[in-house]
Structure 1
């Protein structure tokens, strides 16, 4: 790997590409598995009395952030705050558009992968990669955003297959992949004459919280027919119920999916029957680390050992120092 060297490019409304790196400060980019898309923020110098500081940034301009030759972010400026000597920039990657357009679309017994591909084709969303997802989709979506439809399709797949998927944009293209395919080894190279090392061997601050507020140790699956609604499958952990009390989740399925009800109940129990542990770690930065990635962690002080999913990640680059703060949770074995 190479020493970090970030460059910010602006593409104005006329399509002209400008290198604005020297005007930028306080670079920060973040994403989360709970939200769709990556956010980039920074300040850019502004001084109408100095001809050497051009006022070139406008809302709606496109931005590209690179580290050496690797693209980290590509998106659009959505918010702009102006002060006398600076502008505060907020940009989102092109997942922003998936949240803005609503549609009506029907799928008839096609795989989840094909359903998402059809939706992307309809709205001219470039596809980088969509992993194979065999779950059959038969559903009519009315007045839903593209993002809502994709999330619902992936939820159906997770319920049936017990596999979690990550949706994200890279270089302007859509990628949907299994969490388990996104395992990274994060290293940091402090300078060109020093070797890179694993950043998890140099953890800064660390804090851990535990909660059972979202735990569910009993799952009931009911038929979706309101006139004759009935329980069609159950799954529970009697040991956990005795220890923590009954914490029950009820979910309905369409009649066409009743044959999958037992599988859905078991997968839901596996997903929700747990103590939620969130651990926040401060580290040196690595661009490969972002929400939806899995890291191998070993920390005896906080009893962290094994694979941990990155739930959220915030990178900062200031004064030539790249740092990040990540929140992780243990991956179910």
Structure 2
């Protein structure tokens, strides 16, 4: 790898009028004559910002040696032998060693900015690719080619790094895409961020590197392979909240081959049981490491074909981590291999209160409405002053199966709440037709609350919390809008 560094030089020049002035010029300097020893260029699925490390000669006491200075924050470029740029990143660490007469330089590519910088933002009905563009615009990162998903996502990112936000968006998009597969045997679509020079690309995780393979007959210097079933879990006992056994799930193929190793899942109404149980299964652990001749194209997040009869590493595998070294004109790399395509998933943020305060939908109306209101009184909804549907569905989830289902579906607009109820369950507003637990709709589907009896409502109060909104109560005619419809949720 050829390393280069931009420096600014100041020269004294003579102007046309005979006066002297200072002129700055930018020069791209080849560091090759100064680099000492090994250059290391590496990355992994877990360390998405690629790291470049090298040392260069620096000895102020030697008048014959060029006194070259690299500063923190400056940009280093790496090129292959054909002049193609393979790395661009900034200097994040400098270590001076007087005895060795050298300075060690540690750089990261521009994904490091996204991994370290945080923001808070609400994203509404935006695709993963548009969310990525918004994050990069906020953090000053150039956007390259982004994998297109077409799936719209909404969530609130509270003090999340740019990388976390991007991966939340692409994790959710991947879930939607894979859930819609017509052929269950098709591989899942997964995504991964990677820098191409100064620009951020989002690629399909596991993309095959065409025209290259690791082979014991041509380019593999050493290979290691190990496997273990010490952490195997192939059966899960399922219990209810009181500890009573309700069933089992098992992987019969593993049990027949390796024997049975069992874990226990205790049912939690606030969790997706199937997802939790699936995550508890743990198959054989496999690990492989290859030492091969270097190729700039081989990096983590891609897949490679391997032919190695001795270790039985033959087939398609995924690069978990790669370490490229350059020394004495020789380019070598160590590759850590994964045996399945794994994405760095970031789950969508959940309302920390929601998991504790959602009802079962089967209480009687009066008691359920009181418990629902007690649970959410004073709480601010994710949509703030516009969170009237969120408040109604959360409070109503204690007694109304319909309102509980609308909460679980993520319904957030009054129009959708009305439409999803069906015509038979929506009637023109008439106070004589109101029952405790019904939803009162205002204007042209502009606002909704729950009728609590005696002319009172419970629901979101847009003027609370300094205008940011919070759950409260009041008179149904004191909202400042005209009630127009009733959703008969007391009966749904």
Same fold (TM over 0.5): yes
**1:191 aligns to what?**
none
2:288 to 255, 279, 291: 279
Query: Are 2:16 and 1:21 aligned?
Result: no
**2:122 aligns to what?**
106
**2:59 aligns to what?**
47
**1:149 aligns to what?**
165
Please list the CA deviations of residues 2-24 of structure 1 after superposition, one character each: whole Å capped at 9, or x if unmatched.
Answer: xxxx3211124775422111101
Task: From the superposition, tell whether residues 249 and 288 of structure 1 become closer, same or farther in structure 2 (CA, over 3 Å).
Answer: farther
Task: From the superposition, tell whether residues 115 and 143 of structure 1 become closer, same or farther in structure 2 (CA, over 3 Å).
Answer: same
Q: CA deviation at 1:130?
A: 0.9
2:222 to 186, 192, 205: 205
Q: CA deviation at 1:304?
A: 1.4
Q: CA deviation at 1:112?
A: 2.0
Q: Secondary structure at the match of 1:121?
A: helix
**1:77 aligns to what?**
91
Q: Secondary structure at the match of 1:120?
A: helix
Structure 1 distance, partners of 2:175, 2:326, is: 39
Aligned residues of 1:185 and 1:296 also touching (Cα < 8 A)? no
**1:7 aligns to what?**
2
Q: Which runs of 5+ in 2 are unaligned?
A: 10-25, 179-187, 238-247, 342-492
Aligned pairs for 1:155-166 (under 5 A) are 155-160=171-176, 161=178, 162-166=188-192
**2:79 aligns to what?**
66
Q: Which runs of 5+ in 1 are unaligned?
A: 1-5, 188-196, 221-233
Structure 1 distance, partners of 2:126, 2:230, is: 37
Task: From the superposition, tell whether residues 250 and 48 of structure 1 become closer, same or farther in structure 2 (CA, over 3 Å).
Answer: farther
Scaled by the length of structure 1, the TM-score of the pair is 0.78
Q: CA deviation at 1:92?
A: 0.5
Q: Secondary structure at the match of 1:22?
A: coil
Task: From the superposition, tell whether residues 16 and 208 of structure 1 become closer, same or farther in structure 2 (CA, over 3 Å).
Answer: same
Structure 1 distance, partners of 2:105, 2:261, is: 48
Task: From the superposition, tell whether residues 307 and 273 of structure 1 become closer, same or farther in structure 2 (CA, over 3 Å).
Answer: farther
Task: From the superposition, tell whether residues 184 and 274 of structure 1 become closer, same or farther in structure 2 (CA, over 3 Å).
Answer: farther
**1:291 aligns to what?**
300
Q: Secondary structure at the match of 2:135?
A: helix
Asked which structure has the greater RCO (Cα within 8 Å, sep 6+), the reply is: 1
Structure 1 distance, partners of 2:264, 2:173, is: 22
Aligned residues of 1:241 and 1:247 also touching (Cα < 8 A)? no
Task: From the superposition, tell whether residues 114 and 213 of structure 1 become closer, same or farther in structure 2 (CA, over 3 Å).
Answer: farther
Q: Secondary structure at the match of 2:221?
A: coil
CA RMSD in angstroms comes to: 3.3
**2:408 aligns to what?**
none
1:120 to 136, 141, 145: 136
Please list the CA deviations of residues 99-156 of structure 1 after superposition, one character each: whole Å capped at 9, or x if unmatched.
Answer: 2221111122322222222222333321111112244322101111101212222333
Task: From the superposition, tell whether residues 314 and 284 of structure 1 become closer, same or farther in structure 2 (CA, over 3 Å).
Answer: same
Q: Secondary structure at the match of 2:333?
A: strand
Q: Secondary structure at the match of 2:56?
A: strand
Scaled by the length of structure 2, the TM-score of the pair is 0.54
Structure 2 distance, partners of 1:251, 1:148, is: 29
1:130 to 146, 171, 174: 146
Structure 1 distance, partners of 2:87, 2:8, is: 18
Aligned residues of 2:305 and 2:317 also touching (Cα < 8 A)? yes
Task: From the superposition, tell whether residues 331 and 156 of structure 1 become closer, same or farther in structure 2 (CA, over 3 Å).
Answer: same
Task: From the superposition, tell whether residues 273 and 114 of structure 1 become closer, same or farther in structure 2 (CA, over 3 Å).
Answer: farther
Task: From the superposition, tell whether residues 19 and 302 of structure 1 become closer, same or farther in structure 2 (CA, over 3 Å).
Answer: same
Q: CA deviation at 1:318?
A: 0.5
Please list the CA deviations of residues 152-204 of structure 1 after superposition, one character each: whole Å capped at 9, or x if unmatched.
Answer: 223333444232222111111101111243434337xxxxxxxxx97873311
**1:225 aligns to what?**
none
1:176 to 202, 226, 229: 202
Structure 2 distance, partners of 1:158, 1:49, is: 58
Structure 2 distance, partners of 1:77, 1:21, is: 17
Aligned residues of 1:107 and 1:140 also touching (Cα < 8 A)? yes
